[in-house]
A and B are shown apart, each in its own frame.
Chain A
C-alpha cells in the first residue's frame, strides 16, 4: 500500500484512551507523524523535555513498531520492574481488513456505478486512515504511559529509545526466540496453575486476583462483542451508500414526480450514511478501543500478580529449603540468605504491586467515565443530526 502520511490534525484525539497520565511537563512525548511503507509503519517520535538526563530539550527520532515491542520486552524482563504494571505493548499494525475490503471492492467494481464505486473507495480510504490513526495512537499512548510513570520514565532503555537518533535496528526475533517465547508462555501458564494452589497470604491480593481474572474474561468478551457491533454498524452505513446510488440511478430513469422523491431519498441516504458511519467509528473509538486497551492493561496487571505469586512461591520454596537445611544442618546461612532475599523481593513486589493496582483501578474508572460520557454525547449529537436530516427530508417530501 502506498505510503500515507499522518498529519497533526488528530493530536487532540491522541489521549482519548488512557487519560490518567500525570500531566508532567518535564517529559512530553507525541507521535506527530507516521509513514506507512508496505507492512512497516515508521513513526516519528517527538520528545520535549526539561530533564537533564536528555541531551537536548526537543528532538524527534524515527521508530518502528518492532522498536516499541523491544522496549516493552526489555521493561518486562527487568527484574526491578517486577512490581510494576508494565504498560501493555501496542498491538501490531493491522491493515488487513481494509486492504481485504479494498480488494473485494476492486472485484465488485463492475457491478457498481462509478459514483457508487468512488464512494465505496472513499469510505474504505477513510477506514484505512482511521485504522492508521488508531495505530499511531496506541503507540503514542504506550510511550505516554511510560513517560508519565515515576519509575519507568527514568528507565535507561526508554531514554535511549527516545533519544537515539539513528535506527535502533532492533534485531528481529529469530525462530528459536519466537519458539522460546512461545515456550515461556506455556511454562508461565502451567506455572500459574501450579502456583495458584499456593495459599494467598494477603487478602488484598487474593481479592485482586479473583477480580482481575473475572474481569479479564468479561472485558475480553465485551471487547469482542463491541467489535462485532461496530463492524455491523459499519455494514449498515455501507448499505446506505449502495441504496443511495441505486436510488440515484432509479431517479435518473424516472420521468414522473417520483424522480424528485427518489433524488431526495438518495440524498438523504447519502447524508445518513455519513452520520451512521461516524456513529460506528465513534463507537469504535470510544467504546471498543477503551475496552480493548483495558483488556490489555488488565493482562499487564495480571502479569504483575503472576510475578508476585511467583515471588511468593519462591519464598515458600526458600522457606522449605531453609527447613530442610536446618534439618540437615547444612548450608543454613545460604538458605537463610536465600529465604531473606525471597521475602524481601516478595514484600517489595507486594508493596509496589498494591500501589500499582490501586492506581490502576483509579485510572480505569476515570478512563471509563471519560469515554462513556464522550460516547453518549457523540451518540446524541449524531442522532440529532439524523433527526434533522430526516425531518428535513420529510418536510421536503410533504410539501412537494
Chain B
C-alpha cells in the first residue's frame, strides 16, 4: 500500500467548504458498519456502545475536519483505491487470528468487539472527513464485499493506509521523513480512533522538536490541532493531568494515549473501547514481526515499565538491528518499497500492523542514514510507546491472555521504549548484554613482520548477532582499523568514539625482537587489557553497537587487512597532513560560542586533559618507584638472608632468615602493587586521556559544522549583495540566476544550521553520556584499585604478624 502513497506528490490546499458532506457520509458509514456487524453474534453486545461513541465523536469531528484534511485529499483517494486488493489479501489471514482473539476473550467480549468496531468507525470518520467522498465509499465497499472480513479488519487496514498516505506526501524520500514521523506515530498507536489525536500530537511535537518540516506538513498540522481541540474537549481536560503524570514530553505521542484514555474515562460508553482497542489491535498488529521469543518478557514488562526496559532489552536491540543492520536485508532503504516489502516479509496475520510498524522502522532507517535529528525523533517516538503500553495494560489487563501475538506486539513498542530510555536516561544501567574479552595474545610471524594477534571472544544474548558466543582472531591493526572506520562515520556527527590504545613502535619492536623479558610481557598484557576496555566501550555505546563494522569486527571470520593504520604508510602520512591542517584551521576558527554549556564543557575537558596527563606521569613515576622499592627490597632480603647465615647466634640467625622471607614477600607485594598501580590506576588515567581527546574531537567537529554554517551565511550575504547590485544595474537576465543562487544558498544555510544543531545536540548528549560513564567507570576502577591495595596491606599485616613471634624468640 505504501507504494501508492509514495508516488503521490504533495497535495494542493483544499477548499474549506467541502467538509460537511463527508461528515454526514461518515455517519452513514458508521451505521452501515453496525448493521453488518449485527450478523456476527459475538459482536452484538459490543456494537451498541461502540455506536454510541461513534455518534458522539463524529459530529464533533466533522467541523474541524474540513480544515484538517485539506491537503491529503488526493492522496487518500488514490492509494486506498489502489491498495484495496492487497489489503484484502493481507487482511484475510489476520482476520482468522482476530476472530480467534475475539473468541478467546469471551470474558470481555464487549470490550473487544468495541475495540474492533470503534476503530473502524473513526477511521471512516477520518476518511469521510476528507473532502472527497470516494475513499470512504471505497472503504465501505471493501469491508462490505468481504463477507468474511469484519469491518474491524477493514478499519485496521485502513489506518495504516492512511498513515501511509500521509507519509507519502512529501516529494522526496529525504523530505519524507517528517511524514515518516506521522506514519510512525500512527503505527505506534495503531488504533484508528486515536489517529486524529496522533496527528495532533505530531503537530505539537513538531513544534516542540523544531524539526524542519515541509510546509505541507504545517498545513496539515495546524488544522489538525484545531480539530483536536474542537473534537476532544474532554480529552483536552484529561490531558493535563495525564501529562503531569508523565515526564515532560518532547514526545508528542505521549499525549495521544493519555488523551484516548482520558476520553475513555469521561465517556463511560466509550471508555472500554480504546483500551481494549489498544490492547488487542495494537498488539495484534505488531505481533508477528517481532516473533514470539519476547512474549514472556513482554508480559512481565507490560506490568512494570521499568522492569520492562531491562527485560526487553534484547528485543529492543533486535528491533534496532532491523532498522539499520546489514544482517536484515529484508528492509529496503527505499521508502517506497518498505511497506510492500514489509508486508511480505512479515507474517501475514499482521499484515497491516507490519506496515505500520515498518513505517516506524523506516523512519528509523532514514534517520540513521540521513541525520540524527530524526533519530531523535524515533527515539522519542519509541519512548512513549512503552507508556502507552503500560496504560493499555493498566486499563485492559486481560489482553495478555488473549494470544501470543499480542505480547509480541507489546514487545515491539517496548523495545522502542527500552532503546529510547537507554539513550535518554542513562541512569538506568545500560547493560547491553555484550560481554567481550580479549585474550591469548600471540605473536605471529618472525622478525619485523611479526605481529600480535588477539582472541576476541564475544558473549551476548542480543539477537543482532548470529550466535550467542563467538570468537575471532584479530591483530592490533584491525582494532585500529575499526576505530578509523568508526571515526570516519560517527565523529563528524559529534559522537565520541572510544579510542584504542596508541601504536607503540618501541614496545612492539621489543616484542618483535622476541626478548621474553618482563617488560615486553607487561607491554603485551597492558595492551591486551586496553584493547579489551576499548571494545567494551565501543559495544556499550548504543549507537556504535549498531554499526555494521562493529558487528563485522566481532563476528566475521576474516577481516580485510586494515592498511591505513600503518604509521609509515602513505595513508598514515596523509592522516598526519590532515591532522596538521586541522590543527591550523582550528586555530584560525574563532567561534563566538553562543552556548555557555559547550564553552564550559570544553574548558573542563581541556583542564581535565592537562591534569590527567600530569597525574598519569605521577602515577607512572609511582610505579617506577614502587618497582625500585621492590627491587631494593629483594636485594635487601637476599642480603639479610646472608647475614642470617653468618650470624652465630642460632635464634638470631633464625629470626634474620625469617626476616629475609618476610622481606621477600614484601617484595612480591610491592611488585603486585606496582602492577596494580600501573594496570588499574595508570591505565585508567591513560584511557581517560585518550577519551578526552575524543571528547575534544567531538567539540572540534561541532566547531567545524558551525564554521560551515557561518561560511554559508557569508556566501549567502554576498549573493544577496550581488543581487542587489544587479537589481541596481537592472540586469534582469542575470537576476534570475542570482535569485536561484540565493535560494540555493538559503537552503544550504538552513541545512548547515540544522547540521550544526544536530551536531550540537549529539555532542551534548555524548558528553553527558561520557560523564556518566566516567563517573561509573572511575568509581568502579578506583574501588577495585583500592581493594587491591587493601588486600596488599592485609597481607602485609599477616606477614609481620607471623614474624613477630620469631623476633620475640631471639634469646
Contact = CB atoms under 8 A, between A and B. Distances in A.
A28 interface: no
Interface in A338-380: 361, 364-365, 368-369, 372-373, 376-377, 379-380
A143 to B, nearest CB: 27
A332 B782 CA distance: 89
Contacts of B629: 229, 232-233, 235-236
Interface string A218-241: 110110111011011101100110
B457 interface: no
A307 interface: no
Interface in B780-796: 782-783, 786-787, 789-790, 793-794, 796
A394 B786 contact: yes
A193 B498 CA distance: 71
Given A372-B659, A380-B804, A361 B611 contact: no
B783 A253 contact: no
A229 B633 contact: yes
B800 A243 contact: no
A247 interface: yes
Given A215-B643, A243-B615, A383-B800, A225 B775 contact: no
Interface stretch (B336-344, B365-373, B504-512, B616-624): B616-624
Contact of A361 (B621, B649, B786, B793): B649
Contacts of B778: 258, 261
Contact of B618 (A246, A255, A393): A246
A102 interface: no
Interface stretch (B242-250, B323-331, B634-642): B634-642
A379 B807 contact: no
Contact of B804 (A218, A247, A373): A373
B786 A268 contact: yes
Given A368-B655, A373-B808, A247 B615 contact: yes
A396 to B, nearest CB: 10
Contact of B774 (A229, A247, A256, A373): A256
A260 B496 CA distance: 24
A383 B604 CA distance: 37
Interface in A235-289: 235-236, 239-240, 242-243, 246-247, 249-250, 253-258, 261, 265, 268
Given A255-B604, A372-B807, A222 B797 contact: no
A257 B604 CA distance: 14
A225 B639 contact: yes
B619 A383 contact: no
Interface stretch (A47-55, A183-191, A318-326, A384-392): A384-392
Given A215-B646, A250-B608, A253-B608, A368 B652 contact: yes
A38 interface: no
Q: Give the top 4 A-B pairs by smallest Cβ distance, nearest first.
A: A225-B636, A369-B810, A372-B807, A239-B622
A236 B625 contact: yes
Given A215-B643, A222-B643, A246 B615 contact: yes
A170 interface: no
Nearest to B625: A235
Nearest to A268: B786
A217 to B, nearest CB: 9
Contacts of B649: 361, 364-365
B626 interface: yes
A383 B642 contact: no
B642 A218 contact: yes
Interface string B435-479: 000000000000000000000000000000000000000000000
A243 B622 CA distance: 9
Contacts of A231: 632
A398 interface: yes
A253 B611 contact: yes
Nearest to B601: A255
B647 interface: yes
Given A236-B626, A397-B779, 12 more contacts: A225-B636, A225-B639, A236-B622, A239-B625, A250-B615, A253-B604, A265-B782, A361-B648, A364-B652, A369-B652, A386-B793, A398-B783
Interface residues of A, number: 55
Contacts of B625: 232, 235-236, 239
Nearest to B638: A225
Given A239-B622, A253-B604, A368-B810, A221 B790 contact: no
23 contacts: A215-B646, A222-B643, A224-B639, A225-B636, A228-B635, A229-B633, A235-B628, A235-B629, A239-B618, A246-B618, A253-B607, A253-B611, A257-B779, A258-B771, A361-B649, A368-B656, A372-B810, A373-B808, A377-B804, A380-B797, A380-B800, A383-B797, A397-B782
Which of B618, B783, B794 has the largest count of A CB atoms less than 10 A from its CB? B618
A386 B783 CA distance: 15
Contacts of A255: 600, 604
Interface in A37-87: none
B612 interface: yes
B523 interface: no
A221 B622 CA distance: 26
B651 to A, nearest CB: 8
Given A376-B800, A390-B793, A261 B652 contact: no
A319 B626 CA distance: 62
Nearest to A244: B618
Contacts of B803: 376
A214 interface: yes
Contacts of A391: 790
A216 to B, nearest CB: 9
Contacts of A243: 615, 618-619, 622
A383 B611 contact: no
Nearest to A207: B648
B628 A211 contact: no
Contacts of A365: 649, 651-652, 810-811
A228 B649 CA distance: 27
B41 interface: no
A345 B646 CA distance: 31
Contacts of B731: none
Contacts of A229: 629, 632-633, 636
B643 A218 contact: yes
B614 interface: yes
Given A229-B629, A250-B615, A383 B793 contact: yes
Nearest to B656: A368
A384 B647 CA distance: 32
Contacts of A253: 604, 607-608, 611
Contacts of A249: 611
A225 B660 CA distance: 12
Nearest to B784: A394
A398 B808 CA distance: 40
B253 to A, nearest CB: 32
A218 B639 contact: yes
A250 B642 CA distance: 47
A377 to B, nearest CB: 7
Which of A211, A247, A265, A390 has the largest count of B CB atoms less than 10 A from its CB? A390
B502 interface: no
Contacts of B659: 372
B425 interface: no
A181 B793 CA distance: 50
B801 interface: yes
Contacts of B639: 218, 221-222, 224-226
Interface in A108-127: none
A361 B807 CA distance: 17
Contacts of B807: 369, 372-373, 376
A152 to B, nearest CB: 25
Interface string B329-372: 00000000000000000000000000000000000000000000
B685 to A, nearest CB: 10
Interface string B258-290: 000000000000000000000000000000000
Contacts of B618: 239, 242-243, 246
A229 B625 CA distance: 10
